[in-house]
Structure 1
Amino acid sequence: MIAYQNVHLAHFMNRPNRFIAECRLQETGEMVTVHVKNTGRCKELFHPEVEVALSYQPSPKRKTAYDLIAVKKDKAWFNIDSQVPNALAADGIQDGTIILPGLKGDIVSIKREKRFAQSKFDLLVETDTGNQAFVEVKGMTLENHGVGAFPDAPTLRGLKHVTELIEAMKEGYQSYVLFVVQFEQVEAATIHTNMQPALTEMILSGQTQGLSVIAYNCSVTPDTIAIEHPVPFDVKTTFEDPNSER
C-alpha cells in the first residue's frame, strides 16, 4: 500500500494545461493551483466541481504546494498518480500479491529501470534458475461500463516498449506488460484500439510469441492505493470511449 500525507479534499474547477489544475479547497473555500500527477487527458474524470484529493507538499523548490492525486467518479475514487504503479508493481511482485504467469524459478531480485536496446524497462526480475524477465508497468485510469482501457492518448513510448519486449524474448528474456488499474470496480482490461490500433496489433503479435499481458486492480481511497487482485485482460474486448463525444 502507498499512503499519501497531508491530504485535503477539494473540488476541481478547471485544467489550464496538462500539468496544473485550479481547485477549491472544501474546508476553506480557498482557490489553489495544483500539480496534476498525470499528463494524460483524463477527460472523463475532470468535470467542473468533481471531488478531488490533494496532497499538501509545500517546498521552496515547487511552483505549487499541492499535488492532485485522486478523483471521485460517481461513488468511487480513481487514483491518477502516474508515479505509483511502478512502486506498487515492484512491491506486489516481491511479496507475491502479483503473480507473473510462467515465470521460471523463484524470484531472488527485482531491479528498477533496466535498459535493453533503446528502452528502459520498469523492472528486471531475476530468479534462482538464472532466468531474467522484463516487466513494463502501465497505469490505467480510463474506464467505461466496467471495462478499463489503455491508453487514453496515443503513446509512441508505449508502442516502442512493447516492440522491444518482443525483441528481448528473442534473446532469452521473459517479457511482461503489467497494467496497474488505478481503481477498484473493473470487470475486464483491454487496449483502447480506436485510440491506437498499432498498439493493439503489437500486443497481439507479442502474445503469439510468448509476451504475457496481465492486469491488477487497486483499492483506492483519497489518501491510499493498494493492489487488490487480477483482472481479466483481453485485447479483443470492446471498449466504448466515454470521451468520444466530448
Structure 2
Amino acid sequence: MKFPPLHFGTVVERQKRFKLLVDFDDHLDWAYLPNPGRLRELIYPGAPVWLKPVHSVKRKLTHEAVLGYDSVPVCLYAALANKLFLESLDLLGLGGNVQLLKEVSLGHSRLDFSVGGRLVEVKSVTLVQDGLGLFPDAPTKRGTKHLYDLADKGEGLVVFVVQRCDAEAVTFHGAMDEEFASAMKWAKKKGISFKAVNCIVTKEEIRPWREIPVLFPQD
C-alpha cells in the first residue's frame, strides 16, 4: 500500500485523542490523529511525525498523521489494518477462491469480515516492547465484547496486524486491559483461532511482511 508524499513535523501536543498540534518548522497547525490508542511511545512533545495533506472542504484539519517513529517507522493509521489484512490473506493461509464479506453482523456486534464463512475480527497493533507486540494500547470494551461474541459462537478468527516491522510475536497487554486479556484466553478455550502479521513500513509504503505467532503466557 503506497502512501502519498508525506510532510514532516514535530509533535507539540495531543489534544484529547484525535487532534495533534504539529510544528511544521515554519508554522504550527492542527492535524488529525487516526488512532484512539494511547501511543505514549510515539506521540509526545518533540516526537517526529509524518503527515499527509488533506484536501477537503468538509475537513477542518489540513493534515492527517500517517507515521510515527519508535526505533522503527510505525504506521499510525489504525483503519488501515483491515486493508492490510486483505493483502495478507495468502500469507496467512486464508487465500484462494473463497467468499469474502465485510462488516458481518453477529448478534448486536458487527465484525470485520467473513472469509469462506469464517468470521474474522482484525486488530491494529502499534505497541512493541522487546520484540513483543502488545494489544490493546488502551482499554477496549468493544474489542472485549467482540471476543466474547466469537467465543459464544464457538468459531472464528482474530488477526492482529502489527503496523511495524520489529514484532517477533503478539500477545495480550494484560497490564493495560485485564478484561481483554481474560476474554482472549476464554476465546481460545472456546475454539477461537488467533493469527498475527507484521509489516514493512517506510515513508513510501506499508506492506505485510511475515506471519508471526500469537502467544498466551501462563498466569
TM-score band (shorter)? over 0.9
Q: Distance in 2 between matches of 1:90 and 1:168?
A: 23
The answer for unaligned runs of 5 or more in structure 2 is none
**Aligned AA for 1:11?**
T
CA contact (8 A) 2:22 2:29 kept: yes
34, 39, 47: which one aligns with 1:50: 47
Partner of 1:78: 74
Partner of 1:191: 172
Partner of 2:86: 90
Please, which moves more after superposition, 175-184 or 191-200? Answer: 191-200
SS in 2 for 1:157: helix
Please, which moves more after superposition, 53-62 or 41-50? Answer: 41-50
Deviation track 1:216-245 (CA, whole Å, cap 9, x = no partner) reads 00111124211111112112179xxxxxxx
Q: Distance in 2 between matches of 1:70 and 1:136?
A: 24
**Percent of aligned positions that are identical:** 28
Whether 1:113 and 2:103 are equivalent positions in the alignment is yes
Choose 1 or 2 for highest CA Rg: 1
Partner of 1:129: none
Q: Distance in 2 between matches of 1:214 and 1:148?
A: 12
**Aligned AA for 1:17?**
K
Partner of 1:165: 150
CA contact (8 A) 1:90 1:110 kept: no
Q: Distance in 1 between matches of 2:24 and 2:144?
A: 38
CA contact (8 A) 1:184 1:220 kept: yes
Partner of 1:216: 197
The answer for unaligned runs of 5 or more in structure 1 is 127-131, 239-246
SS in 2 for 1:39: coil
Q: Distance in 2 between matches of 1:167 and 1:194?
A: 25
Deviation at 1:167, TM superposition (A): 1.9
TM-score (norm 2): 0.94
Partner of 1:14: 13
Partner of 1:69: 66
Deviation at 1:107, TM superposition (A): 4.0
CA contact (8 A) 1:6 1:57 kept: no
Whether 1:155 and 2:140 are equivalent positions in the alignment is yes
CA contact (8 A) 1:200 1:235 kept: no
Instruction: Report the number of matched residues.
Output: 219
Q: Distance in 1 between matches of 2:166 and 2:65?
A: 21
**Aligned AA for 1:234?**
L
Question: Using a 3 Å threshold, how does the CA distance of structure 1 residues 85 and 18 change in structure 2: closer, same or farther?
Answer: same
Deviation at 1:109, TM superposition (A): 1.7
CA contact (8 A) 2:131 2:169 kept: yes
Q: Distance in 2 between matches of 1:69 and 1:162?
A: 28
Deviation track 1:114-139 (CA, whole Å, cap 9, x = no partner) reads 1111111101012xxxxx10110000
CA contact (8 A) 2:87 2:208 kept: no
